[in-house]
């Protein structure tokens, strides 16, 4: 069953001297429960594409539908609320708040939304990610891999239908990268979520069900 559809996505940046086509007509669909990797070199358009899929940016042309809802038709606050309740984000730099402990970081999106904290789910997620005994620690006392696990836990706590990860292993060594890639797949399967990972690491991409390759703002190939 289709959960996401991108149609004719374009993103142009115009300066005084030239026009940059960050995205130049990208279309594809993603099925519910799929683990998709979007691969490309720096400047290929992969992060711009992820920002469009997550409603963090608005395309110059084209549309994104998530569960049949068009992001383009939503006003700013409506889009923010839809994003918070349907999409989880994992970034390369973790984006953990340094002055609060891991537990408070994980439940922060729920507190901001005034939502109930599901302690049973919290225990299940932190056990799966191997950070259950680290909840009282501050982020800077953790390794990079452990901080990324905390960031994944934070994204999962809102029970998103769609989990978007932008270079989630970019700051990690090879062994930790593969661990995080494996955890993203395991979490997707365990919690019945669709996972889209942007990466430049081929070994991470190969763990996905399908690979979309980007070059010069366009899809240059697909595998799987």
Asked whether the predicted pLDDT for residue 170 surpasses 90, the reply is: no
State mean pLDDT over 135-152.
94
Return the number of other C-beta atoms located less than 10 Å from residue 81's C-beta: 13
Angle between helices 102-113 and 119-129 (to 10 degrees): 140
Task: For 118-199, list the strands marked E by DSSP.
Answer: 162-166, 194-199
pLDDT of residue 81: 87
Q: Write out pLDDT tens, residues 51-91.
A: 999 999 999 999 999 999 999 999 888 998 899 889 999 98
Instruction: Provide the 3-class DSSP secondary structure of residue 27.
Output: strand
- Name the percent of the chain lying above pLDDT 70: 100
Q: Write out pLDDT tens, residues 113-135.
A: 888 999 999 999 999 999 999 99
pLDDT of residue 35: 96
In 3-state terms the chain splits into helix, strand, coil percentages (rounded to 5) of 40, 30, 30
Chain position carrying tokens 């429960």: 33
The encoded tokens of residue 208 equal 């996905």
pLDDT of residue 17: 83
Q: What structural domains does the chain harbor?
A: 2-223 (3.40.50.300)
pLDDT of residue 176: 86
């Amino acid at each position: 069953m289709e959960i996401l559809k991108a149609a004719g996505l374009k993103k142009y940046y115009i300066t005084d001297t030239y026009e940059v086509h960050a995205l130049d007509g990208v279309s594809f669909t993603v099925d519910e429960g799929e683990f998709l990797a979007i691969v490309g070199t720096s400047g290929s358009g992969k992060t711009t594409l992820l920002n469009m899929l997550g409603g963090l940016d608005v395309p110059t042309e084209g549309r994104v539908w998530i569960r049949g809802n068009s992001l383009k038709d939503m006003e700013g606050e409506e889009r923010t609320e839809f994003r918070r309740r349907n999409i989880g984000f994992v970034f390369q730099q973790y984006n953990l708040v340094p002055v609060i402990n891991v537990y408070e970081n994980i439940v922060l999106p729920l507190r901001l939304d005034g939502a109930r904290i599901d302690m049973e789910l919290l225990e299940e997620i932190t056990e799966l990610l191997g950070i259950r005994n680290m909840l009282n620690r501050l982020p800077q006392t953790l390794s990079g891999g452990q901080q990324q696990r905390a960031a994944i836990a934070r994204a999962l706590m809102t029970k998103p239908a769609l989990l978007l990860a932008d270079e989630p292993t970019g700051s990690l060594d090879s062994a930790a990268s593969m661990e995080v890639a494996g955890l993203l797949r395991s979490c997707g399967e365990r919690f019945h979520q669709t996972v889209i990972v942007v990466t430049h690491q081929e070994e991470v991409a190969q763990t996905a069900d399908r690979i979309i390759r980007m070059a010069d703002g366009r899809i240059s190939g697909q595998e799987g």
